[in-house]
Amino acid sequence: MKRLKRIFLPKWIAWFVLLILIPSLAVLEYHAFYGNDPYPELGLMFGFVMVVTIVMVFLMSYGKLPYLLIEG
């Protein structure tokens, strides 16, 4: 019987990614809605993708969602 070994990210990676993505998200959304951007929906879409990425990194760092499965 083969077993799956779950590998998770270290917890510091979640906070490091948060420090990078939250300011990027703020700048992106500011320019999308208050700048001269003709397509603010594109900024909203990228913002949604960044929020999903942040949530997934936190789930992988705190042991809820494995980022790697090793069979053996």
Confidence of residue 16 (pLDDT cuts 50, 70, 90): very high
Tokens matching residue 49: 């993708």
Residue-level length of the chain? 72
- pLDDT tens, position by position, 21-71: 999 999 988 988 888 878 888 888 999 999 999 999 999 999 999 988 898
Q: Which residue carries 């760092």 as its tokens? A: 61
Residue type, 38: P
